[in-house]
Structure 1
């Protein structure tokens, strides 16, 4: 199943003071342009010189809020905004007219957005206090009667707006980070499912190809060896057996396709057909009340039965096989038992992954499996595989 992806999921979340960059740039440039046009006096001596120096300084301090956060960590930002508070109050004092007070408003708002609550409130109080003192005492050349002291008092209020914006943006960033974390978790889960599916396909390919080709190879080797003895009857028998194995392999390939496509197979009917095709007729014993079981249980039990029958044909040719299917209230138990060989065993090599694959299948179903020699009873000397899985 495809996993939804977030754009730029791997990039860090933006800092609160970096959001709405275009709008912030527009506001900064507007304040600077307005001050350059309206703030007076500008000259080379006295208060005019002070204004001429403080005006570009305030513009630079306000422009500094657009620097990346890595250049302005919290401590540096606190010092910068404190200096800006002093410079904005000084500009209000030195200017006779104009919009010098806008620097104080914007710097206070940015302090609320950029800094934590305590330093932001401290800087806002500093800006308000200095601005009120300038306007109340009439410090500087300007006629401050045209600018009431209440304006100076309110210069620190934008810090509250900055704090609200910071909280909102941090909430949005937290939501985005949570979504990114959920995406990463979904991707990890999808990858785990993909690896599990690859392992399942590998087991199915092993069941169909490794065993079938090993059996065909043994019969062809036998036929090749018999050709040197001139025993044509046995050569024909080995050749016929190889053809039979190929036919069985095609049937097993069909089962594998069903399993890979997640088709739900009837357990009893398919198991009976499997036994008949392998030459074991009327060897299935069913106990308990048969019922529909999950597709995963059906697929894996059929693969375990297939593996067991293939091993019996390879290691105990001619030996009788008995299969028991026991339906219990909470579990299904499959037992495959083969008696000792009645014909000569042809040497051959398997992949060595058969029992491992069976154990993996049962582990995926949270069941149990035992496999080992039969030590007593009519099948003593044979081999038994017993798997029990929840169903």
Structure 2
């Protein structure tokens, strides 16, 4: 069994003030009526004390308090009466609506109104109509008006609670959106940084390994030239990205990111880097002149080709690395194939971050991508990367 809740300090104060005021009125001999069944002045104090006790329950047990206070008010009408008893009853009615259950908050005003009307109609048969109406008005002031006041106060409290809840939910959603935006921005930065630097560093790693393992001046000089070229290009890309971040720019905005028109230069650069590994890079552009592509699509296609060429430089066996672009309808297809198998010479390690970034780029555009080893008709096994990007402006999600 749960222990009874202690009275609220404010309820204790109200009870003490009501009891003290009633006792003071009794000592002064002030009363509301005369000619009652119990006409002694002290008899008015009998309902006063338990009415003060009912006030102690107004917040913790409002229904019980009202059930106790109602017969006490009726008993007070059999005595000369005490204003403090009546005032405390009105407060108990108010508290029953404000602190009671939702059902009680709906029921108390209705019952008080019906009782007021019934009392007025009953007195019309015994008293003068004016007196009966006056008593009915007083009864309404004692029971119905406090109930209606409680309904209004409870409505305002419920509205305030709902507004506070909505504010908390809005703040929670805003914080969630902020975290998602930060995570998305970090993912974009990670993809851009990887795509810009990975190819250059892979070429540096492979050619530096070749220069160290092959003790020939010509080979070493060629390797150093490639290393220097990739170092300068990688540094320029890093400076571009740092400049965008300092200006608060987005690396995916038009003009700041490479476009498919720069694929020729990328293929030529990859062809130079991959020559020592026995790789030949070829571009086959089967697109028709269908107009300008959306900037996010061009960036994603360029980065997919760049990452696929980087992976071929690190892992592909000697042979042709073929880059194919096509535009069937409202879809841009990007396909990169390279010979799958063992390769001689130095290799650069891979982390798999490039494939993850590739998939993220394609998913943001609502496209599809797949990568894996496949058997060609000629019997050659190739590693194929194929992406399909829908040509819908603003299709990128999470923006």
Give 1:172 deviation, angstroms. Answer: 4.0
Residues 1:373 and 1:57: Cα distance change in structure 2 (over 3 Å): same
CA distance in 1, matches of 2:204, 2:212: 12
Partner of 1:157 in structure 2?
A: 144
Matches within 5 A, 1:32-51: 32=18, 35-36=21-22, 39-41=25-27, 48-51=41-44
Partner of 1:6 in structure 2?
A: none
Structure 1 unmatched runs, 5+: 1-17, 19-23, 137-144
SS in 2 for 1:156: helix
* Corresponding position: 1:169 with 2:167: no
Residues 1:387 and 1:296: Cα distance change in structure 2 (over 3 Å): same
SS in 2 for 1:329: coil
Partner of 1:244 in structure 2?
A: 229
* Corresponding position: 1:311 with 2:311: yes
Give 1:154 deviation, angstroms. Answer: 4.0
Partner of 2:194 in structure 1?
A: 206
- Quick check: 1:325–1:335 contact (8 Å CA) kept in 2? yes
CA distance in 2, matches of 1:126, 1:83: 19
CA distance in 1, matches of 2:339, 2:236: 25
CA distance in 2, matches of 1:35, 1:131: 29
Partner of 1:383 in structure 2?
A: 383
Partner of 1:261 in structure 2?
A: 251
Q: Over residues 318-347 of structure 1, what are the superposed CA-to-partner deviations in whole Å (9 max), with x where a residue is unaligned?
A: 744433332343222122234679984413
Structure 2 unmatched runs, 5+: 1-7, 30-38, 125-130, 273-280, 392-399
Partner of 1:234 in structure 2?
A: 219
- Quick check: 2:373–2:383 contact (8 Å CA) kept in 1? yes
Residues 1:331 and 1:379: Cα distance change in structure 2 (over 3 Å): farther
- Quick check: 1:314–1:345 contact (8 Å CA) kept in 2? no
Matches within 5 A, 1:178-217: 178-217=166-205
Superposition TM-score, scaled by structure 2 size? 0.68
Matches within 5 A, 1:1-391: 32=18, 35-36=21-22, 39-41=25-27, 48-52=41-45, 54-55=47-48, 57-59=50-52, 61-62=54-55, 64-65=57-58, 67=59, 72=60, 76-91=61-76, 93-96=78-81, 98=83, 100-115=85-100, 116=103, 117=105, 119-121=107-109, 124=112, 149-150=135-136, 151-158=138-145, 159-226=147-214, 229=215, 231-253=216-238, 260-264=250-254, 265=257, 267-279=259-271, 283=283, 285-316=285-316, 319-338=319-338, 344-373=344-373, 375-376=375-376, 380-391=380-391
The CA RMSD over aligned residues, in Å, is: 4.5
Partner of 2:33 in structure 1?
A: none
SS in 1 for 2:261: helix
Give 1:153 deviation, angstroms. Answer: 4.8
SS in 2 for 1:351: coil
Superposition TM-score, scaled by structure 1 size? 0.69
Give 1:176 deviation, angstroms. Answer: 3.6
Q: Over residues 202-221 of structure 1, what are the superposed CA-to-partner deviations in whole Å (9 max), with x where a residue is unaligned?
A: 33333344454343233323
- Quick check: 1:333–1:386 contact (8 Å CA) kept in 2? yes
Matched residues, number:
346
Partner of 2:34 in structure 1?
A: none
